[in-house]
Structure 1
């Protein structure tokens, strides 16, 4: 089904099913259902039933999925009576397709996008945060998952469940507040020129969000740096220390690391590229890659060395692009609406409503 947008006033929303890979490339997998469930073949034929509240182990066996007395390249487990499905070690809404791949089993949770967001809001922001902040996160997360699905989805699944996509941990992350925020914004997305935007978000920026091209390669008119309001974030200021040996182990390729020097910084002080110098040469590294290699909270930091130790002092948590969650929290606490929060962090965008294309 193709999608278009109803701009402006909010109307009926589109029911949309996502395929979320919640386990990938495992040898075996525990599955179950809160209610009696049907087991179906790849083509949808009913193979049998499994009883409620019992655990079953699916195994990768001889190039097929083996579950109890059933086998196939793919097997469905579909709870009846609006039950929940157990996958791995968590409960999920919807149903599960277990697929045999080259490297093992992949479990794909088929779930309505709104039910998916019940969990994402709790995992990404927190189930007790202010309602307007959670509403802003709901619209951003709904937009982001649809953008990711269009860009990276494949024949087996639309999106994954980790931080590359956005964190989804099933029903354990849901709360009454995440339900309220999702339902209050049902079907709403952010658009630019009639397309769903890449609504990236992060924990806190350290005082000012970033133009996207300062962190990644492609400039986008809606991902512009703006003042942030995240001073209450626990990561607004941070400090990390590394021994010379640890830096050498993590960075490599230049011999023993003797220094890290800013090469290019964004207008807001975020490290765009840095020069890593060692006893065997030097190399240039992107700030975001350096952040990942060292496990830092952000690329907004300075480096001081003394003896065999390096001290990195920084601000913020995450890439610094798009919505700042701690900034959104502060604005919500000050009485700003989710629409105002979204228009601050995502410039040149419109709030739109998903609906089937006529």
Structure 2
């Protein structure tokens, strides 16, 4: 058996970080160590290991760490200090298949603690296949049909690999993905279940490709009936992110309503007085707000659909707004609503796979590859060893 080993060391200014990426390629093995940012900008963090471990600094000094021994890593302003050793970075390596702990959460793999200008950056160095069962268990309900979980496993693997490749081509990047909804939710082993482990194992090394390249397999909770073309969300066309009818009618957020009072709106969109109206300036073919003019008694403001969603805490930009007037006197001859009712559909940006749609398709008997090809147009389900990167 022939193994092709790629060794990539990338030195960065922040801590002189030495990143090692080893890709083992053969007919049977392909391993990728992912860099997942667990915490960023903290002053202190408690770490430990479930098995005997070593804590090393960047000068090669090492100390033994006993199982379950709590170690406080402290930011000193220019370095990280823990258990009598100090450096720009520390590495906690458990023996065998031991777990590592950050705060109250356990993770597979190793821990890297870096000193940066913002404080400590805690990175979990974990094999891609060991990372996925946790992600699948948090991004979907583990009780969902196995075909939906398998679709999520392939999408999450593809997304992580796409991010890994992109970030490592950029000088100075310290990690590949975060552990929150900004990328993929990753709480560690607590979200692993028998069903998510099975879904990852059943799709081992499978990724989605387009034109031979691994795709950015973004996903969202529910589209509200129809997913979106990428140019209406990202302002750029992506050939495999085309709008398609969704199967998400079972989603609790297929339709939703939010009522916000005039006082609440004035606080969330300040600087234009009491808000009297919302005027959509540009919408997508599916009705998502691209830009909105917000009109107030003291002026108006144009904001993007995403800005509107964040400011008002809405589930999506697929929405309409209706005023509620009540018995309130007008201001300067202008009738002022006492509240607005926002009626919307879906949850998330509307691109790529709808997770509730995948659930709905699985309930109807679709297989995971059929689900994936429905939401990502023109893609190929490939083995990771054959995917261009």
Coarse TM-score class (shorter-chain normalised): over 0.9
Q: 2:285 aligns with which of 235, 246, 267?
A: 267
- Deviation by residue 1:274-328 (Cα, 9 ceiling, x = unmatched): 1111122222222122112211011111111112111101111111111000110
The alpha-carbon distance between structure 1 residues 155 and 187, as it changes in their structure 2 partners (threshold 3 A), is same
Q: 1:86 aligns with which of 81, 101, 110?
A: 101
Unmatched 5+ stretches in structure 1: 4-10
- Deviation by residue 1:172-195 (Cα, 9 ceiling, x = unmatched): 111111111111111111111121
1:340 aligned onto 2:358: no
Q: Distance in 1 between matches of 2:83 and 2:55?
A: 11
Q: Distance in 2 between matches of 1:62 and 1:292?
A: 33
Relative contact order (C-alpha < 8 Å, sep 6+): which is higher? 1
- Structure 2 equivalent of residue 8 of structure 1: none
Aligned-CA RMSD value: 1.7
- Structure 1 equivalent of residue 53 of structure 2: 37
User: For 1:7-86, what aligned pairs fall within 5 Å after superposition?
Assistant: 12-43=28-59, 45-86=60-101
- Structure 2 equivalent of residue 311 of structure 1: 341
Comparing 297-306 with 12-21, greater Cα deviation is found at 12-21
TM superposition shift of 1:252:
2.3
TM-score (structure 1 length as normaliser): 0.93
Comparing 98-107 with 253-262, greater Cα deviation is found at 253-262
Structure 1 residue runs of 4 or more that deviate by more than 4 Å after TM superposition: none
Comparing 223-232 with 60-69, greater Cα deviation is found at 60-69
Larger radius of gyration: 2
The alpha-carbon distance between structure 1 residues 199 and 67, as it changes in their structure 2 partners (threshold 3 A), is same
Q: Distance in 2 between matches of 1:95 and 1:85?
A: 7
Q: Distance in 1 between matches of 2:382 and 2:265?
A: 47
Q: 1:285 aligns with which of 303, 309, 315?
A: 303
TM-score (structure 2 length as normaliser): 0.86
User: For 1:1-358, what aligned pairs fall within 5 Å after superposition?
Assistant: 1=6, 12-43=28-59, 45-152=60-167, 154-307=172-325, 308-355=338-385
Q: Distance in 1 between matches of 2:238 and 2:272?
A: 35
TM superposition shift of 1:126:
2.0
TM superposition shift of 1:46:
4.9
- Deviation by residue 1:332-353 (Cα, 9 ceiling, x = unmatched): 1111110000010000111111
TM superposition shift of 1:217:
0.7
TM superposition shift of 1:69:
1.6
TM superposition shift of 1:62:
4.8
SS at match of 1:355: helix
2:281·2:293 contact (CA, 8 Å) conserved in 1? yes
SS at match of 1:135: helix
The alpha-carbon distance between structure 1 residues 302 and 197, as it changes in their structure 2 partners (threshold 3 A), is same
Q: Distance in 1 between matches of 2:378 and 2:214?
A: 12
Q: Distance in 2 between matches of 1:76 and 1:324?
A: 38
TM superposition shift of 1:106:
0.9
Q: Distance in 1 between matches of 2:272 and 2:233?
A: 24
1:32·1:53 contact (CA, 8 Å) conserved in 2? yes
Q: Give the count of matched residue pairs.
A: 349
2:32·2:127 contact (CA, 8 Å) conserved in 1? yes
Q: Distance in 1 between matches of 2:279 and 2:28?
A: 54
Q: Distance in 2 between matches of 1:171 and 1:240?
A: 35
SS at match of 1:81: coil
